[in-house]
Every structure is written in C-alpha cells, then in structure tokens.
C-alpha cells in the first residue's frame, strides 16, 4: 500500500473539495489554485500515478468527464476556450502523483495561464524521431 496522497484523501472524504461530479470511478472538483475561474481537476478515484500508467478504461472515463466540464465552461461559464492538460512526472510539472486532468477555462489570451509553444525543430532529425516513436507504438 502506498501512502495516501492528497487526492486519495479527497476521495476518502478526509479533505474537503468543491465537488463537481462523482461516480464509481471518477471524481471532479475545483482546483484550489483557480489558475482561471472554474479551473477543475478530474481524477481517477483509484490511485494511479499519472495518465501514462492508468488503465485505458479508467482513463477514458476521466477524459469523458473532462470533455463534459469543458463543454459547460464554454456554454455556461463564458469561457472562450479550454485547455485540457495532464502533467506526467515532475519533469512535466506534475506535483501530485495521482492521475488527474486539468480543465482550464480560458477567457482572454494570457489570463492566468499561458502555454508558450516555441519552435525548436531546427537541427532535429524528424524522420528518425518519427520512426522511433512509430515503431514502438
Ligand atoms: P499538477 O501540478 O499537475 O500535479 O497539479 C496538481 C494540482 O492540484 C495543482 O493545480 C494544485 O492547485 C491542486 N491541488 C493541490 N491540493 C489541492 C486540494 N486540496 N484541492 C484542490 N486542488 C488541489
């Protein structure tokens, strides 16, 4: 048994949350940091380390709820866009080692949250990289 992380404690009702959705496998609640208004987390109730190590059936259920929350953000919360984000491992910014998907409503460009996608393709051997990934899927 692993030591309970903060999301396991939320699932078990030991820590409160602003709950948005719950079923047997999935829980959704507001992220305490509210990067933007309505910022939500969708998690698996069972403990898995992250997106990459979660069984597909559970991952699909979590993504289904993330999609539904994103749709509500656009329809009813006034968001003009939504970012769906799942950080995997600390190198990618994962701080809670329990599978979760961020649903981040976007109201104005740059408001509270920014992803900068730089073009770093120069010098990379794209055919070799594509081949390595493709051959191992
Ligand atoms: P990540 O950095 O992708 O692992 O995201 C973890 C997220 O969990 C952060 O955005 C935190 O604000 C959020 N968080 C941590 N503790 C709580 C809590 N008790 N209730 C709600 N959200 C939390």
**Length reported for the chain:** 137
5, 6, 66, 94, best to mutate for ligand 1 pocket (most atoms within 8 Å of CB):
6
111's CB contacts (< 8 A; 6+ apart) are: 36
| Of residues 97, 88, 83, 6, the one with CA closest to residue 38 | 83
pLDDT at residue 2 greater than cutoff 80: no
Our answer on whether the CB atom of 96 is closer than 6 Å to any ligand 1 atom is: yes
Q: What value does the mean pLDDT of the chain take?
A: 95
The CATH number of whichever domain residue 129 belongs to comes to: 3.30.428.10
Which residues have a catalytic role annotated?
Answer: 100
Our answer on whether the CB atom of 16 is closer than 6 Å to any ligand 1 atom is: no
Average pLDDT for 22-35: 97
pTM: 0.95
In a domain, 38, yes or no: yes
- DSSP string spanning 50-112? SGGGS-HHHHHHHHHHHHHHHHHHHHHS--SEEEEE---SGGGT--S-S-EEEEEEESSTTSS
In a domain, 37, yes or no: yes
Our answer on whether the CB atom of 15 is closer than 6 Å to any ligand 1 atom is: yes
Looking up tokens 């969708």 gives 42
Our answer on whether the CB atom of 32 is closer than 6 Å to any ligand 1 atom is: yes
In a domain, 88, yes or no: yes
Helix (H) / strand (E) containing 130: helix 126-134
Average pLDDT for 53-79: 97
| Of residues 103, 104, 122, 120, the one with CA closest to residue 112 | 104
In a domain, 48, yes or no: yes
pLDDT digits (tens, 9 = 90+) for 87-114: 999 999 999 999 999 999 999 876 777 8
* Number of neighbouring beta carbons within 10 Å of residue 36: 20
Average pLDDT for 77-96: 97
Please give the share of the chain, as a percent, with pLDDT higher than 70. Answer: 98
Question: What pLDDT was estimated at residue 113?
Answer: 79
In a domain, 91, yes or no: yes
| Residue 100: strand pairing partners | 43
Confidence of residue 59 (pLDDT cuts 50, 70, 90): very high
Query: How many domains would you assign to the chain?
Result: 1
Question: What pLDDT was estimated at residue 92?
Answer: 97
- In terms of residue numbers, what domain contains 63? 6-135
In a domain, 1, yes or no: no
Do the beta carbons of residue 32 and residue 6 sit within 8 Å? no
Question: What pLDDT was estimated at residue 94?
Answer: 98
In a domain, 94, yes or no: yes
């Amino acid at each position: 048994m692993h030591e309970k992380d903060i999301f396991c404690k939320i699932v078990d009702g030991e820590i409160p949350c602003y709950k948005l959705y719950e079923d047997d496998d999935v829980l959704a609640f507001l992220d305490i940091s509210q990067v933007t208004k309505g910022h939500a987390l969708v998690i698996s109730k069972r403990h898995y380390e992250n997106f990459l190590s979660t069984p597909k059936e559970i991952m699909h259920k979590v993504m289904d709820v993330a999609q539904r929350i994103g749709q509500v953000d656009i329809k009813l919360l006034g968001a003009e866009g939504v970012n769906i984000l799942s950080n995997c491992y600390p190198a990618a910014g994962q701080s809670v080692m329990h599978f979760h998907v961020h649903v981040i409503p976007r109201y104005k460009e740059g408001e509270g949250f920014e992803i900068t996608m730089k073009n770093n393709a120069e010098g990379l051997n794209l055919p070799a990289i594509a081949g390595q990934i493709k051959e191992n899927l």
